[in-house]
Amino acid sequence: MQLIDCPWCGPREELEFHYGGQAHVSYPPDPQALTDEQWGHFVFFRDNPKGPFPERWVHGAGCRRWFNAVRDTRTHEFLAVYPIGAARPGVPGGDA
Amino acid sequence: MTAETRPLRPAHPLESWEPAFAALTREVAAQGGDLVLEPAPQARATDLRLDPAGPARPAVAAALGAGLPTHPNTWTATDDGEIVWLGPDEWLVTSRYARPDAAEPALRPLVAGHGGAAVDVTGQRVALRLRGRLARELLALGCALDLHPSAFPGGHCAQTLLGQAGVLLLALGDGDDYLIHVRSSFAGYLAEWLLDAATEFRGAAPAAGT
């Protein structure tokens, strides 16, 4: 089983974590001003790249903290782990 | 129908398992092994949330008689319990002798003004103590963590999975003494799992009745 490097607890089994979708999707500053189409894009549309993808993960069976990770969607390899709110780190071989 | 009056006394949720635990210790000892599984005394537990860099911390440390552990996955001892790191802004404070109604009110005023919280979670977890030479080997059958004393010495703790149950594991000694906190509703499952996992240490005779 793959180990995921929790920023607090260190490497733990993948089983202890849950996936939280794409990272860096910020809430619109003025939701009322959006058209239905723009709102639909915010709610339903996510990137689906083949390669490095920034995602949110939570260490559910451990410290229960959320963090961001860059995962390669082709190999399921975790390339970087970084705190919520931090900018996406440059990843070797990534397109960041 | 005559009412029978019996004195009330605190009961451990896993009390009914004690004969099975004792039988395990006996049978493992007969094989030359050393493994003791027993319910640990129910301690008063308070979940403490507070900003680790905030102003409330010194007062809390003074009230508890010990500093809050800052290093992830460690715990510190107090006079009658432990302060366990649960997260960067969360700790579990246990106390064996605090009055049931005293632990939470003692901490709450210290943190409430600073955006913190203290909540009594005594009923949330049940504690089991596992010790002896085979303790680490038994845990290794259901826990993916490296529990060798070089990686998980006394004073360390971990929230992880044991079998299928989420547990809070405290290393009391170096590799042969553990305190296992498990959610109350998983306690029976975990007791059963531990007894089942220990079958291989009991020798050839199949364990009866467990």
Ordered strands of the B75-77 beta sheet? B75-77, B82-87, B90-95, B44-49, B117-120
H-run or E-run covering B192: helix B187-197
Residue B4: the pLDDT is 75
In this structure, the number of other CB atoms found within 10 A of the CB of residue B197 comes to 17
Residue B80: the pLDDT is 87
CB contact under 8 A, B88 and A65: yes
CB contact under 8 A, B159 and A10: no
**B209 in any annotated domain:** no
Residue B97: the pLDDT is 84
**A34 in any annotated domain:** yes
From the list A8, A62, A64, the residue facing B160 with the nearest CB is A62
**A94 in any annotated domain:** no
Q: For chain B (length 210 residues), average pLDDT per consecutive 10?
A: 72 90 94 93 91 90 91 93 94 87 85 91 93 94 94 95 95 91 95 95 64
**B8 in any annotated domain:** no
A15 close to B (CB below 8 A): yes
Residues B110, B115, B119, B124, CA torsion sign: negative
Residues B179 and B128 in one domain: yes
- Using an 8 Å Cβ cutoff, are B36 and B131 in contact? yes
Residues B36 and B77 in one domain: no
Looking at residue A56, which CATH number applies to its domain? 3.30.2270.10
A58 close to B (CB below 8 A): no
Which of B73, B84, B91, B146 is best to mutate for the A interface (most A CBs within 10 A)? B73
**B57 in any annotated domain:** yes
Residue A72: the pLDDT is 95
Q: What stretches of B47-159 show up as alpha helix (H) in DSSP? A: 57-64, 103-112, 135-140
Residues B36 and B128 in one domain: yes
Its domain, for residue A8, covers: 3-82
Within 8 A of A13 by CB-CB distance, chain B residues are 144, 161
Domain end marker among B57, B90, B122: B122
Looking at residue B25, which CATH number applies to its domain? 3.30.1360.120
Number of domains in chain B: 2
Number of domains in chain A: 1
User: Ramachandran region of residue B209, left (φ > 0), alpha (ψ -120 to 50) or beta?
Assistant: left
Looking at residue B91, which CATH number applies to its domain? 3.30.70.1520
Q: What one-letter code names the amino acid at A69?
A: A
Within 8 A of A16 by CB-CB distance, chain B residues are 160-161
A74 CB burial (10 A radius; 0-12, 13-18, 19+):
exposed
B153 CB burial (10 A radius; 0-12, 13-18, 19+):
middle
| pLDDT over 70 (residue A92) | no
Residue B191: the pLDDT is 96
CA B166 to chain centre: 12
Q: Is B12 helix (H, G, I), strand (E, B) or coil?
A: coil
In this structure, the number of other CB atoms found within 10 A of the CB of residue B77 comes to 12
| pLDDT over 60 (residue A8) | yes
Residue B205: the pLDDT is 56
| pLDDT over 50 (residue A96) | no
Residue A31: the pLDDT is 94
**B98 in any annotated domain:** yes
Q: How many contacts (CB atoms, under 8 Å) link A and B?
A: 35
Residues B130 and B34 in one domain: yes
A10 close to B (CB below 8 A): yes
> Rounded to a whole number, what is the distance in Å from the CA of A16 to chain B's nearest CA?
7
Domain end marker among B122, B153, B181: B122
Its domain, for residue B84, covers: 44-122
Residues B128 and B36 in one domain: yes
Residues A7, A13, A14, A16, CA torsion sign: negative
pLDDT, tens only, A30-63 = 999 999 999 999 999 999 999 999 999 999 999 9
Length in residues, chain B: 210
Within 8 A of A62 by CB-CB distance, chain B residues are 158-160
**B48 in any annotated domain:** yes
Residue B148: the pLDDT is 94
* Token pair in block for residue B184: 């109350």
Residue A51: the pLDDT is 93
From the list A8, A10, A15, the residue facing B87 with the nearest CB is A8
**A18 in any annotated domain:** yes
